[in-house]
Structure 1
Amino acid sequence: MSSDSQVYDKIVHVDASRAIKDIGYARSVTAQAPAFVVYNDAFLDLLGGSPQIKLVETRDYEFAHEAGVFSPLTNSVFFTSNYQSSDPVEIHSVDCSTLAITKVAWPEVHHGNGACQYQSKVLYCSQGSRSVPSSLVLVDPLTNASETLINNFYGREFSSINDVVVNHKTGDIWFTDPTYGFEQAFRPSPTMPVQLYRFSPAKHQVWMVADSFTQCNGLCFSEDYKRMYVTDTGAIQAHAGPGDGHQFSCNPRLPATIYVYDVIHGQRLQNRRVFAYCNNGVPDGIKCDQYGNVYSGCGDGVHVWDTEGTLIGKINVGGTTANFCFTDSGLWLFAEKKLFFCRFGTKGALVDIECSR
Structure 2
Amino acid sequence: MTDPHADTPLDSSLSRRTLIRATGIGVLAAAASPAFAQTPAAPPTTVTSPPRDFSRGGAPTTYFSDPDILTIDPVFNNYAQPNAAIQRIWTGALWAEGPAWNAQGRYLVWSDIPNNRQMRWIEDDGRVSVFRTPSGNSNGNSFDFQGRQLSCEHLNRRVVRYELDGSATVLADAFEGKKLNSPNDIVAHTDGSYWFTDPPYGGQLYEGAPDAAGGPSNPSGRINPKLGQLPGIGTAKRELPTNCYRIDPSGRIDLVVTEAQVPDPNGLCFSPDFKKLYIASTGKGPGDSGPGGKGDVHVFDVGTDNKLSNQKLFSDCMLDGVKCGPDGLRCDVDGNLWVSSNAGRAVGYNGVSVFNPAGKLIGRIRLPEVCGNITFGGPKRNRLFMAASQSIYAVYTATQGAGPG
Unpaired runs of 5+ in structure 1? 1-9, 241-250
Which protein shows a greater Rg?
Answer: 2
d(CA) in 1 for partners of 2:21, 2:71: 6
**Per-residue deviation at 1:121?**
1.4
d(CA) in 2 for partners of 1:90, 1:286: 22
The answer to which structure has the higher strand fraction is 1
The answer to whether the 8 A contact 1:51-1:345 is kept is: no
Is 1:62 aligned with 2:111? no
SS in 2 for 1:98: coil
Matched residues, number: 311
Cα distance, 1:13–1:265 mapped onto 2, change above 3 Å: farther
d(CA) in 2 for partners of 1:332, 1:255: 26
Is 1:79 aligned with 2:132? no
Aligned to 1:89: 116
**Per-residue deviation at 1:66?**
1.4
Indicate which of 137, 151, 166 corresponds to 2:188: 166
Give the alignment's TM-score, normalised by structure 1.
0.79
String of CA shifts for 1:323-351, please: whole Å, max 9, x gaps.
1120124111111222111012111012x
RMSD: 3.0
d(CA) in 2 for partners of 1:340, 1:173: 27
Identity among equivalent pairs (%): 25
d(CA) in 1 for partners of 2:298, 2:28: 25
The answer to whether the 8 A contact 2:195-2:247 is kept is: yes
Cα distance, 1:122–1:259 mapped onto 2, change above 3 Å: same
The answer to whether the 8 A contact 1:320-1:335 is kept is: yes
Which structure is higher in RCO with an 8 Å CA cutoff and minimum separation 6?
1
SS in 2 for 1:262: strand
Aligned to 1:226: 275
Give the alignment's TM-score, normalised by structure 2.
0.70
Is 1:52 aligned with 2:85? yes
**Per-residue deviation at 1:145?**
2.2
Unpaired runs of 5+ in structure 2? 1-16, 31-44, 49-66, 212-236, 343-349
String of CA shifts for 1:91-140, please: whole Å, max 9, x gaps.
10000111110102255x41101111022111101123xxx4x1111114
d(CA) in 2 for partners of 1:343, 1:266: 37
**Per-residue deviation at 1:214?**
2.8
d(CA) in 2 for partners of 1:45, 1:195: 36
**Per-residue deviation at 1:32?**
2.2
Structure-to-structure mapping, 1:1-357, within 5 angstroms: 31-32=46-47, 35-59=68-92, 61-62=93-94, 65-83=96-114, 88-105=115-132, 107=134, 109-118=135-144, 119-128=146-155, 132=156, 134-140=157-163, 144-168=166-190, 170-184=191-205, 186-188=209-211, 189-201=237-249, 203-211=250-258, 212=260, 213-234=262-283, 237=285, 255-279=294-318, 280-299=323-342, 300-327=350-377, 328-350=381-403, 354=404
